Structure 1
Amino acid sequence: MRPRKLLMLLKRVSRNLVARILLGALVAFVTALVAPLFEGLIPKDLQDRFGSDAVMPILSILASTMLTVTTFSLSVMVQAFQTAANSATPRAYRLHLNDTTTQTVLATFTGAFLFSLTAIVMFRAGFYSESAAVVIFGVTVVVIALIILAIIRWIDHLSSLGSMDDTLSKVEAQARETLARIFERPALGGVPLAAGAEMPSGTVPVRAPRGGYVQLIDMAALNDMLGDASAHIVLATSPGRHVVKGAVIGHVLGDANPEQLANAFTFGEIRTAEQDARFGVIVLNEIAVRALSPGINDPGTAIDVIHRLSRVLSDLRHPGNPPPEFPRIEVPVLHPADLIEDGFASLIRAGREHPEVIGLAVEALGQLEGSDWPEMANEAKSMRGYALRHAKEVLSLRDDRDAVARS
């Protein structure tokens, strides 16, 4: 497996709830098993003071309470995440599943339960001596301290878990992180593909081995697969695009195996944010559009989203033309038109009957017209005109139309 793909998988595993719980359980189980190895270091007076009679009641309390606390915490987590999905967007549910605070707290509770349960079994089976009981007592004190810290952290986290503010903050942070990463390496380190570029004659199509969203393109692996020959590839897709099996995802020129090149692409059933710079902006837009639906009718959330979109997009600068890391790979690049369209087009259509929403969108786009990036400024100007036309067409009261025009 290629390093970049392996790194992506490891990162996904590190943010997986089950993986963290299993890691906590493994640490607890191993700790309970290796504790007798340290019994030779225990002084005699400590053995008399902290024997099994002192440890067993504490372990029993931990085993019973941690099971209850873990079950309760899981139900709270699921309810909070479902609330976020129902009030914001279903994509928010997957984002909350990557919440490291929740994962760490649940792993602590589960690990404490399994440690205490394993230690009780070992005591009953006669595996632990009185000297080992002192070691178990010391470990139990550490476990209790970790539980206290986890409970404090959990209580603080529950005050915002699943709320709209928490969801919006997570989505905005993800959008910023991915955009910053993409703009550091335009075209994923390859050569930017010019818009409308024609394929050279003699190219061989590279076809998708399966359908799904393009989640990751391993550029280093793709470059290695091109070999030492003068092979060259022009990608026909980018992360975030959905393709069907057999769809053309690239055109290779030269002596390279198209089927092997296709293995550098990772496909999945859902969009992910590793290389998909548009995903965070799209999710922000979805939240605003859902808030403006008749069933929810929450213009305030749409206004908050517009503020966040304007902050995210106004921080973007032209990435320049850094020397390509992979000069034999041409890649479609992200354009400001894509981000402006993703962020504002459907929001404008959904909020055109709300003067406060359409007016703020016009104002935000007007601010983006002052961007140092000419292409961003031009696209913002075009979208601002689109918003004004919607307002003129839908708003029946002249005062509302005039207010929007002045924004």
Structure 2
Amino acid sequence: MVRRIRLLLDDSAWFVPFLYGMGGIVLTAFTQVFGEFFRDLLPEFIYLDLDSAASVLSSTFTSLMTMMTFSFSTILVVLTTYSSQFSPRTINNFLTNTSAKHTLGLFIMTTVYGISNLFLVRTADEGVVLSSGISVLLVIGSIWAFVKFIQTVSVSIQAERLLSELHKEALSVISEQKDAIESDEVHLVLPRSVHSLEGQAVRAPQTGYIRLFLREKQGDHETDFESVVAVGDFVAKGDLLGFWKGEDAPDIELFEIGEVRSSMQDPSFAIEKLSEIALRGISPGINDPNTAIHAIHYIGDILRELCELSDGDFLYSNGKCDWHVKRKTLETILFESLSPMQTYASRDIFVMGSVFEAIRMARLQAHETLDSTFEDMVQYFVDVIDWDRLHVKEQNYLHNKINRAKKMAT
């Protein structure tokens, strides 16, 4: 349940602004009820007569609407930039940006507070009101947030910052997995290629991506479970998800399935975003190979962290039952993230060189069982390169990169 709530909060762009809007309503009620109570405690200039208060509230509301209009227009421009220059999968990274959510939330809070008090100010029993003074303070805060928002936008559309954020996103997920393994919350076991057909089948209740495996539901259950899908896989309604190995199968949902993938338990999704940005960079329409090289280097560093773990599936055990969950193999992640580069960049020696450099970085601290996977991937790229079209100097450059990728870390 905790992970599902966390996923909802991380992916939602509306929840934080909604809380701010509710805060505006609460602040309005507080001002109307206790405004006179603070009369002797607050400076006199904060209180205005009814006509002046109405004018201030009207002016602040109008100016705030201007800022909101500009902000929403800016957001649309940024979303278009993210979709066209980077990848449609990266749009959510901006929508869920903490600074952007709090800025919009403060705008909404000030708007709700201003318009509600503008409606109620004429009904005040006293000759003076407090709401206009608080509204001015909120508008000042909104101006500061607006400046902060502009700075956030200017930074977020920089390719280097987006790549860095995706890099941190993936490393955070991998770090959580490593911590869980070190604390014995989960164990790595050898992958199972054949699954038993005994027991009760668990099928997908809807079509979509597997976003989470709800391991916290294991509790004190005594029935073993074995999955045939991994987090990040796409399933259709009715697809087989796994088996309960027993006649008394618990009536619980083990997988969170949704329309959009999440990287919360799936670091390969962040790698996929970086791969798409790299593909956009080397496509003929954009032609930005330096961004592609930068993205590929980040992919290599993420793989370096990921490859410290051997290939294997996750096993959750409570002492009474074992839940076996499939995990994407390194071979799959390597092929899906790096092989698309050869579509446009097989003749670009610098992009291809960065691919071999990414493989070299991934092998720095890789588990010894992954050596053959790396060698096969290097050989794959060697085979797809059209060596006859390359100059001798270009061939030498790539051969140097290939030799470094093949060299084992000591």
Give the TM-score normalised by structure 2: 0.86
Correspondence 1:362 to 2:352:
no
* Residues 133-169 of structure 1 deviation map (CA, whole Å, 9 limit, x = unaligned): 1x32442343134223202311321322333233322
- Is 1:143 paired with 2:133? no
User: 1: distance between equivalents of 2:323 and 2:44?
Assistant: 68
Query: Post-superposition shift, 1:283?
Result: 1.1
Q: Give unmatched runs, 5+ long, in structure 2.
A: 402-410
In structure 2, give the amino acid aligned to 1:144: V
* Residue 277 (structure 2) pairs with residue 277 (structure 1): no
Which residue of structure 2 aligns with residue 154 of structure 1?
A: 149
- 1:218 aligns to 2:211 (yes or no): no
1:4-30: CA deviations, max 9, x gaps? 3xx423542365232222222211122
Look up the match of 1:242: 234
1:42 Cα shift? Answer: 0.9
Find the aligned partners of 2:66 and 2:323 in 1 and give their Cα distance.
55
Query: Which residue number in structure 1 is paired with residue 40 of structure 2?
Result: 43
Residues of 1 paired with 2:139 and 2:397: CA distance?
A: 60
Show the counterpart of 1:380: 374
Residue in 2 that maps onto 1:400: 394
- With 358-367 and 303-312 compared, the bigger mean Cα shift is at 358-367
Pick which of 56-65 and 370-379 moved more: 370-379
- Contact 1:194–1:332 (CA under 8 A) maintained in structure 2: no
How far, CA to CA, are the matches of 1:32 and 1:213 in structure 2? 42
RMSD of aligned Cα (Å) = 2.8
Greater shift, 340-349 or 209-218, is seen at 340-349
**CA shift for structure 1 position 348:** 3.3
Query: For 1:104, which of 102, 105, 109 is the aligned residue?
Result: 102
Deviations 1:376-401 (A, max 9, x none): 44433332222222234464323212
Q: Once the 2 structures are TM-superposed, how far is the Cα of residue 71 of structure 1 from its aligned partner?
A: 1.7
Query: Percent identity among equivalent residues?
Result: 19
**Residue segments in structure 1 that go unaligned for 5+ positions in a row:** none
Q: Which amino acid aligns with 1:385?
A: Q
Aligned pair in 2 of structure 1 residues 370, 107: CA closer, same or farther (>3 Å)? Answer: closer
- Any conservation in 1 of the 2:304–2:363 contact (CA below 8 Å)? no
* CA positional deviation for 1:252: 1.5
Cα 1:115–1:12 change in 2 (3 A) is same
Structure-2 residue corresponding to 1:85: 83
2:298 paired with 1:304: no
- 1:287 and 1:48 mapped to 2: Cα distance? 55
Q: Number of aligned pairs?
A: 394
CA distance in 2, matches of 1:194, 1:303: 34
- Name 1:337's counterpart in structure 2: 331
Per-residue CA deviations over 1:174-210 (Å, capped at 9, x if unaligned) read 2222222233335995554532443346333211122
Q: Deviations over 1:212-233 (max 9, x none)?
A: 1111121122x24x834xx211
Q: What SS does structure 2 have at the residue aligned with 1:41?
A: coil
Say if 1:47 and 1:130, in contact at 8 Å, map to a contact too. no
Given residue 225 of structure 2, which amino acid in structure 1 is its aligned partner? Answer: I
- Go from structure 1 to structure 2 and tell me whether the alpha carbon gap of 1:128 and 1:116 turns closer, same or farther (over 3 Å shift): farther
Counterpart CA distance in 1 for 2:107 and 2:95 is 17
Q: What's the TM-score, normalizing by structure 1?
A: 0.87
